[in-house]
């Protein structure tokens, strides 16, 4: 049985990847990677440091100091509607949102790698079943499904992380499938098959190492997408529990004070933009260096 993925399996994913993956020189890729890693280190390092040194308080600092302006009473970014320090609460919110996105991206990667590799390394009914599943899931609106699932199972860290991970794997799987089909044509894989190496061992020792850069790139892009998705679901009230330090919850609370205290919306929004930019730059940089290395090998 033939599926849509069998027509041109190796070239097809290029249409799915963003335009930012167009060929660039190695210097451009390195610059993007350095900037992305730098942003990530600042965001993650600040969050970890604040957690380790106890600068994040789960309760309001002082309700009487609610809605203070920038720099007032020692609060660099002011306070929110409950008197919490905006800087501390934003750091905590980024930690929550990033953790949900990271766990969800790992779930996505696990599902996509298994299905993509199985579909790319096998033939017959197994390949047809996997590719058909990818085709069907690609046609489904994953955010709508996530909204429905979260409305049914309730809010929380693990329900949100697993739900986002289980609904966002199809594109990842399709890219892994196409890359696997290409690797199956390599001489070292053909030699292993002729020597009678088991299919499972071929996938683990020959195919999976060849997919590591693709997995890194796609994981970074999925992480960025899930960070936006988590913030959106929490903003709608069906993601993080009420009172949790989520960037989406901060946006939802801040919209009521958009005129009097616009920083309550501006600060978490800027953090979301910086985090997404960092993840995308890292993915861009790894992809550019990978393409440059492949061109050098072919020469």
So where are the chain's domains?
26-50+86-298
pTM of the complete model = 0.83
Placement of tokens 């890729």 in the chain = 29
Q: Count Cβ atoms below 10 Å from residue 255 Cβ, excluding itself.
A: 11
Q: What is the pLDDT of residue 21?
A: 45
Q: What is the pLDDT of residue 15?
A: 46
Q: What is the pLDDT of residue 222?
A: 95
Averages of pLDDT over each 10 residues, the chain, 299 residues: 50 46 57 88 82 59 68 75 82 91 96 92 88 89 88 88 93 93 88 87 88 92 94 90 86 86 90 94 85 63
Tell me the C-alpha distance between 137 and 154, whole Å.
23
Q: Count Cβ atoms below 10 Å from residue 194 Cβ, excluding itself.
A: 8
Q: What is the pLDDT of residue 288?
A: 82
Q: What is the pLDDT of residue 66?
A: 72
Burial (CB count <10 Å: 0-12, 13-18, 19+), residue 59: exposed
Tally DSSP H helices, then E strands, for the chain. Answer: 12, 0
End-to-end CA distance of the chain: 38
Assigned CATH for 26-50+86-298: 1.10.3720.10
């Amino acid at each position: 049985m033939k599926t849509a993925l069998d027509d041109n399996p190796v070239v097809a994913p290029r249409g799915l990847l963003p335009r930012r993956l167009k060929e660039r020189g190695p210097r451009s890729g390195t610059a993007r990677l350095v900037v992305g890693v730098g942003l990530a280190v600042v965001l993650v390092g600040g969050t970890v440091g604040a957690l380790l040194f106890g600068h994040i308080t789960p309760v309001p600092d002082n309700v009487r100091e609610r809605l203070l302006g920038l720099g007032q009473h020692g609060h660099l970014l002011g306070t929110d509607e409950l008197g919490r320090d905006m800087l501390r609460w934003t750091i905590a919110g980024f930690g929550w949102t990033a953790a949900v996105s990271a766990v969800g991206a790992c779930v996505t990667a696990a599902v996509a790698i298994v299905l993509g590799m199985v579909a790319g390394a096998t033939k017959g009914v197994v390949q047809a079943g996997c590719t058909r599943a990818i085709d069907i899931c690609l046609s489904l609106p994953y955010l709508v499904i996530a909204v429905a699932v979260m409305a049914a199972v309730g809010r929380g860290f693990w329900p949100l992380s697993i739900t986002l991970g289980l609904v966002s794997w199809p594109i990842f799987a399709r890219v892994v499938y196409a890359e696997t089909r290409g690797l199956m044509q390599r001489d070292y894989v053909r030699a292993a098959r002729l020597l009678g190496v088991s299919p499972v061992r071929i996938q683990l020792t020959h195919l999976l190492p060849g997919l590591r850069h693709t997995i890194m790139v796609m994981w970074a892009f999925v992480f960025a997408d899930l960070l936006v998705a988590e913030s959106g679901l929490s903003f709608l009230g069906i993601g993080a529990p009420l009172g949790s330090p989520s960037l989406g919850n901060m946006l939802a609370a801040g919209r009521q004070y958009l005129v009097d205290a616009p920083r309550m919306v501006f600060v978490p929004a800027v953090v979301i933009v910086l985090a997404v930019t960092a993840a995308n730059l890292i993915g861009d940089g790894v992809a550019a260096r990978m393409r440059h290395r492949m061109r050098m090998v072919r020469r």
